[in-house]
Chains A and B, each alone.
Chain A
Amino acid sequence: MTTSNATDLSLMAHLLRRAGFGSDRDELERYAEKNYEEVVDALLSPDKFEDVEEEVLTRYYPHLHAAIDNPASWNGRWFYRMINTKKPLEEKMTLFWHSVFATGWTKSEHTPTIVDHIQMLRENCMANFRELLMGISKDPAMIFWLDNNENHGTAINENYGREILELFSMGISNYTEDDIKSAARAFTGWTYEQPIPLYPYGQRSVKFLFREDDHDFEEKTFLGHTGNLDGGDIIDIIAEQEATARFIGRHLYNFFVADDAQVPAWSIEPPADQQAIDDMVKTWMDSKADIREVLRTMFNSDWFKAARFKHVKSPTEFVAGVLKLSGEYAEPGPSLHTLEGTIVAMGQKLMDPPSVEGWHTGKEWIDGGTLTERINYAVDTLNDLSKPGVKAIADRIRGAGDSTTPAQLVDQVLDLIGPLEVRPDTRETLITHAETEGSLDWTSEASTKASEARVVRMLTLVVSTREFQFA
């Protein structure tokens, strides 16, 4: 058993909610045996841990094969990874970059291409930012999504040249329209090989192709640099800009630390925490855009540690977090693909962002429909003692004594699913409710059964709270 005190557990739970998708109690206690910075270091070193054996899914359930032109299969596989990964930050960073470099399945309508795109994000998720930008610039799904296949030496299409600056690196007002044109020219000829026709051959991956005859080799000026610049040069220049460090830093803050304004407002609204952004910018500039080091600065900072429950869970975080609690899908299950419908009803479809701007976050996740879906999903999933995670919570409470008072019931459930911090009036409401049925008795088989049912009911009420919407 662990020797760490409750404060340590709360902090560790916070780190695991943000750097991963939450944890069950056993996992939390295992992590909490180590000291905080050691855990951060482990999270930043995914290569030291084994990968999720994803192929087992296809073997058991052919309908989950990623090559089938149905992103639901792929979304189900992604959830399986999120829940079972031994390197949670890698999966969380993949989701982070997917939110920044928001690329959609609907435009490509070619699932393997977008599957490759997500895998590219995963492989580069903690690399130098240059490598990541190079990865997306050569990514067929991105090339098609932002029309770079239509960006020709003789006639430029500015879409990618614009978005790489506006949404993927520096943010608006840090460059001119001429810089956009130069960037677009530098990426001319960056396209993909002729895809194999969908009919009748089915879904096939597409590969990057540089077409020299379609590239503009003339002199260009970009952010004060003049020369025969190509896409690689543009990426190098972008990565060393302080504006890029600020923009990506703000993205990291909004995703991992606390909800901030939406991206379009960033050029007019200052960051929620200027010091936090400055700290990340300093690391970025010192490390020459090493994302891993920026993450280390963030997770080890006081402002990160203090930001508990300052972030409304995204649908993906919400669902993965509930599944971590319920203990489902530790083994492959045939219904994994239905999780896509679950998050879609809550307003998020992975691999299909609403636009290149990605998803709006924070309170914008919540409306009457999505709140209902979230609460009902959590209640329905956890209202079942046969789920291993639910049984484990009931067992722990039973193990704490022959009898459990109403206040203990509330506090223990709050503790075991988080620890979740709630407002005093929320706690009072829950205790008042628990008091109507008195203390739980664990001494006989019949009373244990009744007590277990009450734990489950309390669990469903706790996940219906406002506070549970936050990570």
Chain B
Amino acid sequence: MANHDADVIVVGSGSLGSLVALQIAKRGKDVLILEAGPVTPDWKITENFRTSPRKDNLNAPFGDIPFAPNSYTPGYVDFDADVAWIPGTLRIAGGTSRHWTGVAWRFLPEEMKLKSNFGIGRDWAFTYDELEPFYTQAEYQVGVNGADTSDYSGHNRGAPYPPRSKPYPLPPEAKPYALQRFQMRAAERGYRWDHAPNVRLSKPYAGRPACVGNNICNPNCPIGAKHSGIHDLEAAQKAGARLQTKAVVDRLEKDSQGRITAVSYLDYEGKRTRLTAKVYVIAAHGFETPKLLLMNELANSSGMVGQNLMMHPTLSMSFYADEPLWVGRGQYLHGANLQHRLRDDRASVSGGFYQFMNHNPALSTAQALFKEGGMLGEHLDSELRLRASQFMSVQLLLEDLPDPSNAVTVNTSFRDKLGQPGIKVHYRLQDYSKAALPRTIDDFANWVQAMNAVPQEVPGATWYNQHHIMGTVIMGTDPKDSVVDADLRCHDHENLYLVTTGVFPSVSCVNPTLTGMALAMRAGQHIAQQV
């Protein structure tokens, strides 16, 4: 066996890549992480956000690097979709979780066996019970606030669900005043608001301070109370993992048996470096991972690389209540209504959950006022103040199903400064998701009545999506219709692993990151045993 540059090379220093590296490095193996972007500390991102005029652009504070474009770099993502948002992805040390909101749900056991339970979509290659210990490990690694008593299926059966082997590491934070008022006034119509587990600390944890309510969870928590991939990267480095930044990986080599033999990257001067390892991990999120595989014609005997894109179709709704609620105090997201998450009609209607949006409403109310026009001076000021105090908005996140025609491909009409191509997205909403609209309109009407409110945005006029990229390197037991197996190993390459939310065969309706982290913990333990 030739001398290798490392036992394991991980492409991508985001939360998932770093957690895999941490798991492997902790067991005494030599891990090298390759990251396309540079290291930039949180304080610098805060500075960039404050001085940026593009406050509604999640990626803006992280810069447009011409050698490693992000998903908002003009022209990089060719987005052909009937949903509104290009998911914001980053190439920087710490990865896209540098700007995640920090909602840390677990999937339900039923949702991981969608095909078996409801006859639709696909099943995971293992059960919730097998993932559970890794959910717990991930929660303790990143610091999750949660309510140990909540039934997160939405059925309010009086016992915590899904099952957990250990309590949450941190208690839930208090519900903000606005949510308390909403909860009180909507309760008589049968609505319940649960605490939404999250990584915005309610108490100091692992050297990070508790949240003080700066209310800019995206793009960046200015005090590090919210977890980000930079914390996982630091933990991995502390455990001995090495980091090479400004390393844009574009090539993987394989031998006749399909084993990967080398990975190579370009630095920002265009200089190529070739490296070898026993095991290779691609942890480059749901866009870049399939792009890299497609560019190198790897892992694709099933033809599924890049296909089955799922992004959590989303409906947004908002209103002005008849009383000041002052949303924007505390963190971005606190409460969730889960009553439609797990219903009997799942075979025909997507599961969904509502999240209470606690963002500072100044920007959105001002934008609406300016659109209406006709207001100036003091009148404008007082109207803005009034509306900002009464504003409330809610998002419904919905499940989508794996469909090969919703896909990520290589965008060859774009070339970055290193000559690398961009990404092409094709996505169409499914009837399965759309079927949730009527009940959403009912709920919204109820809330408007309960709050004696004036509607601002009515659900359904625009379909949105989340910054969640799933399904693009799908997991399964059959190599003919999936890319990776239960251990996240490529069916086609025994020493190539894909650690990304792209492997999800079903996506629930809840935010995917914690599940991705649990997968990374699980894969890391497995890979460490292989080298």
Chain A complexes with chain B = no
Interfacial residues, chain B to chain A (CB-CB below 8 A): none
Interfacial residues, chain A to chain B (CB-CB below 8 A): none
